[in-house]
Amino acid sequence: MSSLLRLATAGSVDDGKSTLVGRLLYDTKSVLADQLDAVQRASVDRGLSTPDLSLLVDGLRSEREQGITIDVAYRYFATPRRSFVLADTPGHVQYTRNTVTGASTAQLAVLLVDARKGVVEQTRRHAAVLALLGVPRLVLAVNKVDLINYDEAAFTVIAKEFATHAASLGYAEGSVLTIPVSALHGDNVATRSENTPWYGGPTLLEHLEQVPVAPDPHDAPFRFPVQYVIRPRTADYPDYRGYAGQIAAGTVRPGDEVVVLPQGLRTRVTRVDTADGPRDEAGAGSSVTVLLADDLDIARGDLIASATDRPEVTDEFTATLCWLSSSSLRPGARVLVKHGARTVQALVEELGSRFDEQTLSTVDSPESLELNEIGGVRIRLSEELPVDEYSHSPRTGAFLVIDPKNGDTLAAGLVGERLSAVGAG
């Protein structure tokens, strides 16, 4: 049985990200002959002697014509131990929008730097955004080590500098790894390099295969947004009433005491159902149907949570917004908030701060928030929602801000003041 790891990549233009992703696909034999043929032909057309693996991850034609990548692309590769879903987030324009999107589902992020340049400003910004979104693990791939003659001393300087920066963002030592690689030649990507005898750690692929996929779910309190009420009313199941959803955090077992929010009704889980039969336990990420002891009025949008560790039910909260739209945000804006399976009207009462990427600090009371900017706000809701601090339970501390007029997604929202947590403020 193999597990699934969702990861994101980030790096500045020309650090070799496309080559590295192409290399991962190639070395795990996730590229098939006809795709490779196409790349080979295109490489010959461009006068190259070896196939350019970065062409394996080329994007849409309009982007190819402009020669830039502007949107998150998803890539798939697998080893016998694990399958990988890779969100390839371009590091060019709109990088915050893309990094936030890729990071929202990532269990690990691979940051790339050019060994000749080391940790640059954009590396720090990327790492700050990844920390803000709570990506649990980071890998720094120090690429193009062939161009610094596989020099240990230069690598160590970069590794130390990055470790210090990651620590300032709240990353524990064990959750960050720096690896010397050459995406072009393959050193330490899938095969251990003979050119770096001084490096004793795993290759990038070994690390991706072995890293624990999730924190222990038993540590997190149970959170279950009700998506849909299953009531067959058929001859076989006349009285069946189950609450369907995907477990956002924690685990659930029959017998567990729970509370239904925002109503605040206490009850007990009698059964955790799936089409394959009842489960004796189910954990985060599993789609199940929960049956309860009491006949309560529960609908889509309600949240079933642990009775002992429950989220706050509130109609006003502090949040951090990653603004993803080209229309700007000003205080007083009327928006929609989608949280779990519920969408409510909301007012952005106050725009308290903006993250300054240049200085990695915050600016107080900005006039507006623009595309790719991150800011601290106060939000008032038209009805109460059960919300967690993002740092406590990301999936129930996350929300979308939606434009009520045209339905566009305007922002990624995180409940709580997160800017000081990433060193700004």
Question: How many CA within 13 A on the CB side of residue 211?
Answer: 28
Asked if residue 13 binds ligand GDP (CB under 6 A), the reply is: yes
Please state whether 145 falls in left (phi above 0), alpha (psi between -120 and 50) or beta.
Answer: alpha
Q: Residue 144's binding partner, choosing from other proteins, ligand GDP, none, with beta-carbon cut-off 5 to 8 A by kind? A: ligand GDP
- Pick from ligand GDP, other proteins, none: which does 308 bind, CB < 5 to 8 A by kind? none
406 binds, among ligand GDP, other proteins, none (CB under 5 to 8 A by kind): other proteins
Q: Report in angstroms how near the CB of residue 266 gets to other proteins at its nearest.
A: 25
Is the distance from CB of 414 to CB of 317 less than 8 angstroms?
no
Among the listed residues 109, 140, 184, 424, the single contact to ligand GDP using CB under 6 A: 184
Q: Which is nearer to ligand GDP, 204 or 351 (CB)?
A: 204
Question: Which of ligand GDP, other proteins, none is residue 292 near (CB under 5 to 8 Å by kind)?
Answer: none
Residue 174 or 277 with smaller CB distance to other proteins: 277
Question: Residue 360 or 398: which CB sits closer to other proteins?
Answer: 398
Q: Are 185 and 20 in contact (CB under 8 A)?
A: no
Span interacting with ligand GDP, options 11-19, 75-83, 101-109, 226-234, rule CB under 6 A: 11-19
Confirm if 221 and 307 have CB atoms less than 8 A apart: no
Least Å distance between CB 168 and other proteins? 26
Alpha helix (H) ranges present in 7-90?
Answer: 17-27, 33-45, 61-66
Told to check if 183 binds ligand GDP by CB under 6 A, we report: yes
Residue of 144, 165, 223, 354 that binds ligand GDP (CB under 6 A): 144
Site map 363..382 versus ligand GDP, x via CB under 6 A: --------------------
Q: Which of 9, 19, 178, 267 binds ligand GDP (CB under 6 A)?
A: 19
Backbone φ, ψ for residue 21 (5° rounding): -65, -45
Of 178, 177, 113, 123, residue with least CA distance to 148: 113
Tokens read off for 281: 């336990």
DSSP reduced 3-state for 18: helix
SS3 letters across 143-195? ECHHHHCCCHHHHHHHHHHHHHHHHHCCCCHHHEEEEECECCCCECCCECCCC
Give the dihedral sign, CA 139/187/113/60.
Answer: negative
Chain residues that interact with ligand GDP, rule: CB under 6 A: 11, 13-19, 54, 143-144, 146-147, 182-184
